[in-house]
Structure 1
Amino acid sequence: MTSKTRNTAGWILTGVIALLLAFSAFLKISQAPEAVAQAAASGIDAATFRLIGIIEIICVLVFLIPRTAFAGSLLLVAYMGGAIASHLINGDSVVLVVVIEALVWITILLRFPVIQQQLLPLVRSDK
């Protein structure tokens, strides 16, 4: 994969992830009735739910800024890990959350090739 292709794919995935999570954060921050009801069923009160949305949007913003994108990637990995745990605890499906987590990791590998080159020597692409 050429550098330009990798970069383009990385930014496309970044945009997809950012849109998905920004929409999710918007629902939490705006206190959409359906979202608040679902959170309440999981034992999360409205104020905590709004705080989770604020944290989510901060993670997305840090992820979008090129200078802080790697830190934002790690924040999103941690955030999604918490989402997976929350879904498992409440008996909800984790499929969508795991897919988003996988997309974040794929995006990390595409946007930061040094991770693939230095830290994952088994999948090196020295071409």
Structure 2
Amino acid sequence: MTSKTRKITGWVLSGLIGLMLFASAIDKIKGSEHALQMGTSFGISAETYTFLGCIEFLSVLLFLFQRSGVLGTLLLSSYLGGAIATHLQHQQNILFPMAIEAAVWITAIIRFPELTRRFGNPKSLNERTA
């Protein structure tokens, strides 16, 4: 994949993930009826669900900015891991949060070459540090 193609693909995927997760965060922050029903089904108060929306919003912002993208990836991964655990605890389908987490990591690997180097060829890291 050429550098230009990689960059375009990374930003398109980032935009799609950002839109989806921003919508989810805004839904939680505004306290829509759907969000409150979801929070209640998990045993989460409205205030806590609003706080979770703020965390999600901040994590997405960090993910979208190039300089803080790796940190945003880690925060989104943690957030979505919690969503998966909560869904498992309440016997709900985990396919959607798992798919989003996979998309976040695939996008991060495309956008941030340092992750590709870190995960792709561990020998090259050892040679640099030695």
> Do they superpose with TM above 0.5?
yes
Pairwise CA RMSD: 1.2
Report what 2:56 is aligned to: 56
For residue 91 of structure 1, what is the aligned residue in structure 2? 91
Within 5 Å, which residues of 2 pair with 1:35-74? 35-74=35-74
Give the secondary-structure state (helix, strand or coil) at the position aligned to 1:7. Answer: helix
User: 2:5 — aligned with what?
Assistant: 5
SS state at 1:44 partner: coil
Mapped to 1, the partners of 2:53 and 2:44 lie a distance apart of 12
> Could you tell me how far 1:10 is from its partner in structure 2?
0.6
What SS class does the counterpart of residue 21 from structure 1 fall into? helix
AA at the equivalent of 1:81: G
**TM-superposed deviation, 1:41:** 1.4
Point out where structure 2 has 5 or more consecutive residues left out of the alignment: 123-130
Deviations 1:15-45 (A, max 9, x none): 0110010000011000001210121011001
CA distance, structure 2, for counterparts of residue 10 and residue 100 of structure 1: 15
Tell me the TM-score normalised to structure 2 length. Answer: 0.89
The separation in 1 between residues aligned to 2:42 and 2:72, in whole angstroms, is 27
Q: How far does residue 118 in structure 1 lie from its aligned partner after superposition?
A: 3.6
The answer for unaligned runs of 5 or more in structure 1 is 123-127
- Residue 126 (structure 2) aligns with: none
What amino acid sits opposite 2:34 in the alignment?
Answer: E
For these two proteins, the number of residue pairs brought into alignment is 122
- Aligned residue for 2:10, secondary structure, equals helix
TM-fit CA distance, 1:55: 0.5
Q: What secondary structure sits across from 1:92 in the alignment? A: coil
